[in-house]
C-alpha cells in the first residue's frame, strides 16, 4: 500500500469521525433540551397527580353505550344526555392533564432514543479510532523508512537481489 493511499484513507476516516462527533453533539443538545422540557412539565404533573382520567372516560363510554343500546322514555333519555354532557365537560377539563402526561412519556422516549443513538455512534467511533491508530502507525513507518531509504515490497532497478545473484552465478558455472 502506498503512502498516498494510507493518507487518503486517514483523511476519509477523519471526515467520518468528525461527522459522527457532530451528530453526538446534536444529540447531547437534544437531550439537554428535552430534560428542560421534562422539568417544565413536572410541577403541573405533580399538581394534577391525583386526577384520574380513566374512570371518567369509562363512565362516559358506559353512558353512551346505554343510550345507544337500550330504549328509554324520552324524559330518562334527556336526563342521560345531560349526564353525558356533564361527563364530557369534566373530561374536557382533564384533557390538558392527559396531554401533559402523554407529552412527558414522549419526551422520556426521545431522551432514551437519543441516548441509544449516542451509544451506537460511540461504538462506531471506537472502531474508526482503532483503524486510524493502525493507519497512523503505517503512515509513520512509511515516512520514516522513506527518509532512511528503505522501501517495502518493491526493489529498485539499480539494486540486485540476492536471488538474482545466485541465478547469475549458476549460469556462469555452466559456461
Domain range summary for the chain, segments of one domain joined by +: 3-174
Query: Could you report the per-residue pLDDT of 1-13, keeping only the tens digit for each?
Result: 688 888 899 999 9
Query: Could you report the per-residue pLDDT of 82-112, keeping only the tens digit for each?
Result: 988 998 888 888 888 888 999 999 999 999 9
Q: What is the pLDDT of residue 159?
A: 64
Q: What is the pLDDT of residue 70?
A: 84
Q: How far apart are CA 49 and CA 46, in angstroms?
A: 5
Q: Which residue has the cell 555452466?
A: 174
- The burial of 66, by beta-carbon neighbours within 10 Å (0-12 exposed, 13-18 middle, 19 or more buried), is given as middle
pLDDT less than 70: residues of the chain: 1, 149-175
Q: Which residue has the cell 336526563?
A: 79
Q: Which residue has the cell 479510532?
A: 129
Contact 125, 3 (CB under 8 A): no
Q: Does domain 3-174 have CATH number 1.10.287?
A: yes
Task: Kindly report the three-state secondary structure assignment for every residue of 53-118.
Answer: HHHHHHHHHHHHHHHHHCCCCHHHHHHHHHHHHHHHHHHHHHHHHHHHHHHHHHHHHHHHHHHHHH
C-alpha distances in angstroms, 89 versus 28, 30, 49, 65, 83?
A: 41, 37, 20, 18, 10
Q: How far apart are CA 11 and CA 144, in angstroms?
A: 20
Q: What is the pLDDT of residue 48?
A: 81
Does the reported pTM lie above 0.85? Answer: no
Amino acid at each position: 500500500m502506498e503512502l498516498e493511499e494510507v493518507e487518503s484513507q486517514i483523511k476519509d476516516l477523519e471526515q467520518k469521525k468528525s461527522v459522527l462527533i457532530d451528530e453526538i453533539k446534536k444529540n447531547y443538545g437534544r437531550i439537554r433540551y428535552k430534560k428542560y422540557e421534562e422539568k417544565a412539565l413536572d410541577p403541573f404533573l405533580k399538581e394534577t397527580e391525583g386526577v384520574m382520567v380513566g374512570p371518567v372516560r369509562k363512565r362516559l363510554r358506559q353512558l353512551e353505550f346505554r343510550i345507544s343500546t337500550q330504549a328509554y322514555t324520552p324524559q330518562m333519555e334527556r336526563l342521560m344526555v345531560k349526564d353525558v354532557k356533564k361527563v364530557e365537560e369534566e373530561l374536557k377539563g382533564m384533557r390538558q392533564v392527559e396531554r401533559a402526561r402523554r407529552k412527558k412519556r414522549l419526551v422520556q422516549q426521545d431522551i432514551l432514543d437519543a441516548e441509544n443513538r449516542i451509544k451506537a455512534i460511540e461504538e462506531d467511533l471506537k472502531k474508526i479510532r482503532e483503524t486510524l491508530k493502525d493507519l497512523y502507525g503505517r503512515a509513520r513507518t512509511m515516512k520514516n523508512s522513506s527518509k532512511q531509504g528503505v522501501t517495502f515490497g518493491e526493489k529498485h532497478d539499480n539494486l540486485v537481489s540476492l536471488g538474482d545473484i545466485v541465478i547469475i552465478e549458476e549460469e556462469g558455472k555452466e559456461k
